Structure 1
Amino acid sequence: MSAPLVSILTPSLNQAAHVEDCLASVRSQDYGEIEQVVVDGGSTDGTLETIRRYEGERCRLLVREGTSQAEALNIALAESRGELIGWLNTDDAYFSVDAVSTAVRRFAASPECLGVYGDAVVADERGRVLRHVCTSARSLLPVAFTSPVVQPSVFLRRLALGDRLVREDLHLMLDYELWLRLARQGSLCKVGRILAIDRDYPGRKIRGSLERQRAEVRLLIEEYGAGLESPHPARRAASAWLRRARGVREVLTFERNYRLSFACEVDARWRRAVRQLLLPQRFLHVG
């Protein structure tokens, strides 16, 4: 049986500082059957020039001025040919060179899985790895403000998507809605490896949009019949700390267990361990 084509869908707009890391992480993958479809909404900061340097066998660029992130993703899906689908924003990246091949192997071993996801790491604006994020699709309900699945670490079967990837009426919770929609249809299966880097920095879209996020969370609660997550503060804090503690081993063994897909910054082990356990949550918007 031939290897399935994996299409990586990338919406793009004015991310000159980060887009090369995204593109390099796809180019360096050890899996051969990959296409990256980048749909740019009219960048003016040098992003397009960087993308054009990567155009070729693995990367196609479509410029659609004025498109939103959701519109760009759905255009990319329509233009793609892959049996399996990944979604990688221009400020995110795959963590290791085997991220895609790891997901493909899990799909082959588990035909019932509509989606495959892994853990992630959070990186800062310059690409320094801050901490490990332990993910779990089992925690999708009740609906929370933060997705328990990290978006760039997810791969999906095209057959589960129909003619769209995300809803175009959503701005901040479009990934969470996608996970809920797929979980209604079938299984989302986890692999026990870090697959992606989720970048957190002052200009990130999720920051400064609390009222819109609240409105979209209420919409998901109405549509999917699940109440807002409201555990006791002590229980919530304990759960978050346990998730962090589980990641200590991962952050201490990056060099042994992973071949990094681009030149992200991984500093001293003791610094990683301290950040994993102690970095204040206000600096991070994942996990």
Structure 2
Amino acid sequence: MNPCPLTISIVTPSYNQAPFLEDAVRSVLTQDDGNLEYVIIDGGSSDGSPDIIRRYQDRLAYWVSEPDKGQYDAINKGFARTTGEIMAWLNSDDKFTPWSFSIVRDIFLRYPEVEWISTLQPLSWNDRGQAVAVSFTGGFNRGSFLRGGNCPSKGSYGRRWIQQESTFWRRSLWERAGGRIETSLGLASDFELWARFYTHADLYGVLAPLGGFRAHGNQKSVLQAEQYLAEAEQVLRQYGGKPCGGIEALVRGMLWKVARHGALLPIPDMMLAASHRVKLTFPTNVITWDGVSEWRIISGFVI
């Protein structure tokens, strides 16, 4: 294991989210991480957000409050100010779990072949910041992704989005994938980034909650859900996939409901190989704590 700690670079884009901004900032800074680079890009808020940011400015690598071209432009501006080996962004109304950075760093130090990770157990926060739900999404695989497994559109079998608040990656992957968030999309630029990452590296699931989405009803992803789904489907087609529908979606959806609880259990190799060969299931890599002393990679499957 590399004895040198990796620097984690976090960017928070923000615009008029004062009721939630401080919770987001504190979820980053209260981890007391000595190798953290935190950048906040505020879009010129008029609701007191800059005053909140100033209270923490001595612990920030950079911050600014000025008009920008939207959330994804702000994220690009923020990442351009960072240098850390591990990257992620946190929207100003969401939160990380208190242990996320230590887990993320442990995994990236132990497994140099792992280039991006996301939780299998995404959290949901309510408007008060309380954790109110956690679900099991199953593992990740590019083949499943291209069939719509992470794009739960109407009529598809999609299980759950890849939770942006719980996704971390190496800078080397970011640079190979173009070093930018796509700003031509209005909403689903995170989904487009995952599709682009998938052309370079496998996504590893982590069996620990790393972050959560705060549901307060005023997010673009909630208010404009249909537009987000339309953009995500457009992205899938751009990268050679599409959400499956009809009989295939029905079969995959029913199979996942039945098989999901065994997705990480030992299954005879011949059975799995046959299922993978006809692309009914897809292999996944999951990082889990061994219960004693270390994180280890196990195999699973996803529909």
| TM class by smaller structure | 0.7 to 0.9
Residue 241 of structure 2: which of 226, 239, 252 is its match?
226
Residue 140 of structure 2: which of 134, 137, 140 is its match?
137
Unaligned runs of 5+ in 1: 247-287
Q: Give yes or no for the alignment of 1:155 onto 2:168.
A: yes
Unaligned runs of 5+ in 2: 154-159, 264-303
Deviation at 1:205, TM superposition (A): 1.0
Q: Structure 2 vs 1, CA of residues 244 and 89 (structure 1 numbering), >3 Å: closer, same or farther? A: farther
Deviation at 1:85, TM superposition (A): 0.5
Q: TM-score, normalised by structure 2?
A: 0.73
Query: What is the aligned partner in structure 1 of residue 220 from structure 2?
Result: 205
| Partner SS, residue 194 of structure 1 | coil
Per-residue CA shift, 1:199-254, capped at 9, x if unaligned? 112101112324522431232122111121435458637746986999xxxxxxxx
Q: Structure 2 vs 1, CA of residues 132 and 210 (structure 1 numbering), >3 Å: closer, same or farther? A: closer
Pairwise mapping of residues 27-46 of structure 1 onto structure 2 (< 5 A)? Answer: 27-46=29-48
Verify the 8 A CA contact 1:40 1:64 in the aligned structure 2: yes
The aligned length equals 246
RMSD: 2.6
Query: What is the aligned partner in structure 1 of residue 196 from structure 2?
Result: 181
Pairwise mapping of residues 8-157 of structure 1 onto structure 2 (< 5 A)? Answer: 8-96=10-98, 98-118=99-119, 119-135=121-137, 136-138=139-141, 139-143=144-148, 144-145=151-152, 148-157=161-170
Q: Give yes or no for the alignment of 1:216 onto 2:231.
A: yes
Tell me which of the two structures has the higher relative contact order, counting C-alpha pairs closer than 8 angstroms and 6 or more residues apart: 1
Larger radius of gyration: 2
Q: Distance in 2 between matches of 1:237 and 1:201?
A: 31
Deviation at 1:197, TM superposition (A): 1.7
Q: Give yes or no for the alignment of 1:236 onto 2:238.
A: no
Deviation at 1:32, TM superposition (A): 1.6
Per-residue CA shift, 1:122-169, capped at 9, x if unaligned? 011111222103243224232324753110111111111125331001
- The amino acid of 1:160's aligned partner reads L
Q: Give me the identity figure in percent.
A: 29
| Partner SS, residue 8 of structure 1 | strand
Q: Distance in 2 between matches of 1:232 and 1:191?
A: 26
Verify the 8 A CA contact 1:4 1:82 in the aligned structure 2: yes
Pairwise mapping of residues 266-285 of structure 1 onto structure 2 (< 5 A)? Answer: none
Verify the 8 A CA contact 1:120 1:150 in the aligned structure 2: yes
